[in-house]
Amino acid sequence: MVRKIRLYGDPVLREKAAPAGPIDAEVRELAADLLDTLTAADGVGLAAPQIGVLRRVIAVHPPPDPSGAREAARVYVDPEVAERSGGEESAEEGCLSIPGVYEQVRRPRQVLVRAHDLDGAPFEVRVDGIVARILQHEIDHLNGVLFVDRVGPMRRALLKRRLRELQA
CA distance 10 to 135: 22
**Which residues have a catalytic role annotated?**
138
Residue 110 CB-density burial (10 A; 0-12 exposed, 13-18 middle, 19+ buried): middle
Give start and end residues of each alpha helix (H) in the chain.
25-41, 129-142, 153-167
CA distance 75 to 96: 17
CA distance 99 to 91: 17
CA distance 2 to 21: 23
CA distance 38 to 60: 8
Among the listed residues 57, 150, 54, 55, the one whose alpha carbon sits nearest the alpha carbon of residue 95: 150
